Amino acid sequence: MKGTQVKMEKRIRWMAIALAGLMLIAVSPLAYSQSCALCYTQAASSGSRMIQALRSGILVLIVPPTLMWIVIMGILYSKRNQFKHADGTPESNSNWQ
């Protein structure tokens, strides 16, 4: 029971760190100050359908790479101890000849 509680605390800690990092990125004032002049003029001169299409296009370009990195990091995190012995020391093959 104590082992599952420790695992849950670690998960909560990682989720808190991830949420804090996400909030830091989302609220960053420098991210709002960068805009493309061409995108700005096109969006300002177009109608609401074009603005919605532009927003959808941005999501299409951002979401897949972000999800791919999340999956890669999840795989790396789950495989992080694959090459360690039970006592925690790294596995080494010193019998090479």
| Residue 63, pLDDT above cutoff 80 | yes
pLDDT in tens, 2-59: 778 888 888 899 999 999 988 877 776 665 556 677 777 777 787 888 878 888 888 8
Contact 32, 25 (CB under 8 A): no
What CA–CA distance (Å, rounded) separates 93 from 87? 16
| Residue 97, pLDDT above cutoff 60 | no
Q: Which DSSP string do the residues of 16-77 spell out, in sequence order?
A: HHHHHHHHHHHT-HHHHH---HHHHHHHHHS-HHHHHHHHHHHHHHHHHHHHHHHHHHHHHH
